[in-house]
Copies of this chain bind each other. A is one copy, B any other.
Amino acid sequence: MHNELKTSRVEALCDGIFAIAMTLLIAGFNDMLNWPKSLNETELRSLIFQMLPDLAYYVQSFIILGAFWIEHHHQFHYIKHTNLTLLLISLLAFMFVALVPFSTLIVGDYGHTRIAAILFEANLLCAGLFFYIHWVYAANKPGMTDRALDIKTIKFYNRKNLVIPIVSVIAIVTSLVNPQVGSSIYFTVPIIIVLQRVG
């Protein structure tokens, strides 16, 4: 029925969800809520240094969310109309995006366990797959993009949208052996994205 819904609403919802998810990542610093109020310089410094792994996960998740957001931005550079199917795919992607602060918090606190690492990576895998499906559906459905896209552009973004899913699969497999190495593989994502830009 509605193949002609405007895209501004889903773009606004997307921007809102990413803005909140990115900002809620600071929930990963929840440890500090249990700190006693009277700490001297040395005690506070040592507690803050213990939070460095949380900071690393904050940076990593922020970068991954940023990468998803840029993907979505690029997709809607081409997509000019949306429909119920595309909205439902978007919502499924957002459902996993909104889980990222939670899975980051878990992996930040229990990063030495396989279950925490794999939970985090499976979360990103699912989000990434729905963004990929979103692109494949929109790029191939007539009427969604302004004009028919050339095969080269479609394939370029097919590859781009597969970066996070593929990295996630590698991370999950690696985490079975070594969880901490596994979940730090995502630091390659921005490098791959920047390299792809040239390629």
Q: Please pick, from B70, B98, B105, B119, the residue contacting A22 in the complex, using a CB distance under 8 A.
A: B98
The answer to whether A109 and B37 touch across the interface, beta carbons within 8 angstroms, is yes
Question: This chain: how many copies in the complex?
Answer: 4
Chain B residues positioned under 8 Å from A40 (CB to CB): 113
Q: How far is the CA of A77 from the CA of B83 in the complex (A)?
A: 12
CB-CB under 8 A for A115 and B41, given A32-B106, A62-B95, A73-B87: yes
- Give the one of A23, A37, A114 with max B CB within 10 A: A23
In the assembled complex, A5 has its CB within 8 A of some CB on chain B: yes
Name the segment of A6-14, A137-145, A165-173 touching the other chain. Answer: A6-14
The answer to whether A110 and B70 touch across the interface, beta carbons within 8 angstroms, is no
The answer to whether B26 and A101 touch across the interface, beta carbons within 8 angstroms, is yes
The answer to whether B48 and A115 touch across the interface, beta carbons within 8 angstroms, is yes
Q: How far is the CA of A194 from the CA of B83 in the complex (A)?
A: 12
Name which residue of chain B comes closest to A29, CB basis.
B102
Q: Mark A54-94, 1 if CB is under 8 A from B, else 0.
A: 00001100110010011001101100000010011001001
The answer to whether B2 and A74 touch across the interface, beta carbons within 8 angstroms, is yes
Q: How far is the CA of A110 from the CA of B47 in the complex (A)?
A: 12
CB-CB under 8 A for A22 and B17, given A2-B74, A62-B98, A87-B70: yes
Chain A interface, >50% SS class: helix
CB-CB under 8 A for A73 and B115, given A91-B66, A101-B26, A190-B88: no
Chain B residues positioned under 8 Å from A147 (CB to CB): none
In the assembled complex, A131 has its CB within 8 A of some CB on chain B: no
Given contacts A5-B77, A63-B95, A73-B87, could you give 10 more A-B pairs where the C-beta distance is less than 8 Å? A17-B19, A19-B19, A24-B26, A32-B106, A41-B114, A44-B116, A48-B106, A48-B115, A62-B95, A69-B91
In the assembled complex, A39 has its CB within 8 A of some CB on chain B: yes
